[in-house]
Structure 1
């Protein structure tokens, strides 16, 4: 049951990314080009994603999911150094390539070798961050 729900949810998410234009790198770059030919349509896509999520956090506070043990806790609201650094790296990658993790996965079937290269680089970065963070944290504690 969980696998079927995950498959349907993932397919719906991927279709939504494709229909909304989030997998179109030229559209994303147009959204990020606020000093030039700015395309604000993705702002509506993001708002359309955030508003239902705000409502969902409120509605699920005292409930349990159909296919799981518990809903995840709401994200922390504190601004930390790792959060800022991760946001900067995310923004640089998004601006250079025009893709972020969800759309990169959704576009892998038609993104060509450039999409596959981006996905490989993204997965390598995700794999490398935990040991790098442990190393940096241990050096910070030692000083």
Structure 2
């Protein structure tokens, strides 16, 4: 993950948000969950910056899209009891994978917040596509 690529990813998410009619915050983090790039659209909700970064961090830490986590962390789910205050378990976070010799590993994550969950997910996917086609 580098700054130039992370900036392209946040721009892709913002462009998609405009097409979706959403007003978002978007964060890209590296493999350690550290912020690399962030953008907040004018008028985005006050909670968006924290949630976007939290979704990106969660996707890296748990190595899965955050959209999968709501059901899995609910009572009866296989991740029930996961400390929810440490993770954002709603859609909009996507881990970024890279192949390094012996196998794939997570090298970063994207998090989007501010639209409906479905909008957050498609905006995050637009950013992830920049990563996949780099």
Q: TM-score, normalised by structure 1?
A: 0.25
Answer 1 or 2: which has greater helix percent.
1
Answer 1 or 2: which has greater strand percent.
2
Q: TM-score, normalised by structure 2?
A: 0.26
1 or 2 for the larger relative contact order (CA 8 Å, sep ≥6)?
Answer: 2
Return the index of the structure with the highest Cα Rg.
1
